[in-house]
Amino acid sequence: MKIYEMELGTEVTLVILFGDKTLNLKSSCVGTKGKDILIAAVRVDGKVINLETGELKVSVMIDREQDKPLMWTDCEIKMVVAKNNVMVRIGSKFDAKEVNRRGDFRLAIGGAAKGRIGRNKEALQMTLRDVSYSGFAVIIDPNVPYEIGGPIRVVHKDEELKTVLDLVGKIVRMEDRNGRILLGCKLDLPSPILGKYIGEKQQRILANRMGNNSSNE
């Protein structure tokens, strides 16, 4: 399948690589131009982030209900103006390939958090390691009691985005990390706030990385 054969309105994920980081930004196909697709520009604080730079390696992925996701790699990116709006024009000389998805994308946080584990009513200090659309992981001291399958609630405040994450779930796995304990947790219910936060946080990371490569257009 060629990238320009994508149907209008298809939700896409931009898989952006730079340095040792990977970001997954969601958008949708809003049009085509020749053999390319058009998506809305990425904006942070009203400024358009210029993705047309050699610092970034971009692939485009789409999900399919009954089959594996499709991905176009080594995409060519151009910032264009269409219908009086800044858009991202994306092309790829390669056909799409099926890829294996190993769970939801995880966004690294590494920030301080407070939480309660099991029936313990005491607020514990911990580190929120990462979050995804379906779960999260925390790092705790080895002397903190926990049970696989037991409840956990974690609160993390992101000062930059002025967002408070209140995560409630169950502990599903444990790993020993050099004397500290990593707990992998599954959310009890999907969180619209968390989904919005993951998108905004990735956009902020990208904006900070790109620095001056932005405009008010």
Is the Cα torsion angle 213, 214, 215, 217 positive or negative in sign? positive
**What is 107-199's CATH topology?**
Thrombin, subunit H (2.40.10)
pLDDT of residue 75: 95
Instruction: Quick: pLDDT tens for 192-212.
Output: 889 899 989 998 888 887 765
What's the fold here for domain 3-102? Pnp Oxidase; Chain A (2.30.110)
Q: What is the percentage of the chain residues whose pLDDT exceeds 90?
A: 65
Q: Are 185 and 136 in contact (CB under 8 A)?
A: yes
User: Which structure tokens are listed for 52?
Assistant: 């047309």
Map out the domains of the chain as residue ranges.
3-102, 107-199
DSSP state for residue 85 in the 8-state scheme:
E
Q: Which of 35, 37, 34 is nearest to 7 (CA)?
A: 37
Helix (H, G, I), strand (E, B) or coil at 192: helix
The encoded tokens of residue 65 equal 């209900």
* Tens of pLDDT, residues 87-136: 999 999 999 999 886 567 889 999 999 999 998 888 999 999 999 989 99
Give the pLDDT mean for 170-174: 96
State how far the Cα of 67 lies from the Cα of 29, in Å rounded to an integer: 20
Contact 207, 28 (CB under 8 A): no
Residue 42, C-beta contacts closer than 8 angstroms, at least 6 positions apart: 25, 27, 48, 49, 51, 88, 203, 206
pLDDT at 211: 64
- Say if pTM beats, i.e. exceeds, 0.85: no
